[in-house]
Amino acid sequence: MQQERQQLNLERIIALSADYAPEQVIETEVDPDWFHHYCELALNIANPSMQQLWAKILACEIAAPGQFSLKTLYMLKQMSHKEALALQQAASLCCRNSSEGSGRIYFGVFRRPSLFQLLTGRGKALLNLSQYKLSYPAILSLMDTGLLHHAEIESGELAKGDSIQLCIQQQRLHCTARHNGLVLQYYKFSPLGDELLPLLHLQPQPHYLEALQQLLSSHFEVSRIRADEDDTTSSD
């Protein structure tokens, strides 16, 4: 009976993978060892949402072999449905810095303390990510599973006039520093997390995008550009 259920799980996943298969594929066969491990792990994937995720992995690997490591497969096998939902929510807040490829979730900006700031305690601005459905326990869970790095990260200091470009939700935020000593705070997706991001159906988070733009505007000149348009809007 168990073997029948396992076989049915695998057959469903393989059938679903056809729905995600691209029209064009690279003429390279999937590594037989990789496929063997994939099938062994997929036998016990019974949750429909997780089956879809595993089907997308197979479709992507057939289209372009070598995209997903065995380490990612084994990590994914241990992931609970709750952890998968946390990853989905984190992915919806993902930004990419044009100068560095890894996914990030930006939540803070501050200026390295001057004497005035040390005396007044001013200078740091933060977003509460739980307002955008990414709770702190969910962040810790993603760290424990190895999908996020295990600490908040601070960027290098930006000098007045330095520019960065953040890509999020088909938008580009062009940011030019108004002051010296500006630092961005963010959570960074691990290589394993980055492998999985392209598989996820991302829900737009316009409120987070607006809040992030407002946060950055406290220390940067910010212009926002749609990826498919030329018009811009500026924030002072």
65-118: per-residue pLDDT in tens?
A: 999 999 999 999 998 888 989 999 999 999 998 777 789 999 999 998 755 555
Closest CA to 53 of 66, 68, 40, 64: 68
Out of 4-8, 34-38, 44-48, 229-233, least confident range:
229-233
pTM (2 d.p.): 0.83
Distance CA 35, CA 19 (A): 19
| Under 8 Å between Cβ of 186 and 114 | no
Strand-pairing partners, residue 134, are none
Give the dihedral of Cα atoms 68, 167, 155, 76; nearest 10 deg. Answer: -20
Tell me what pLDDT residue 99 has.
73
| Dist CA 31 CA 220 (whole Å) | 48
CB 91 within 8 A of CB 205: no
Give the burial class of 148: count Cβ atoms within 10 A of its Cβ; 0-12 exposed, 13-18 middle, 19 or more buried.
buried
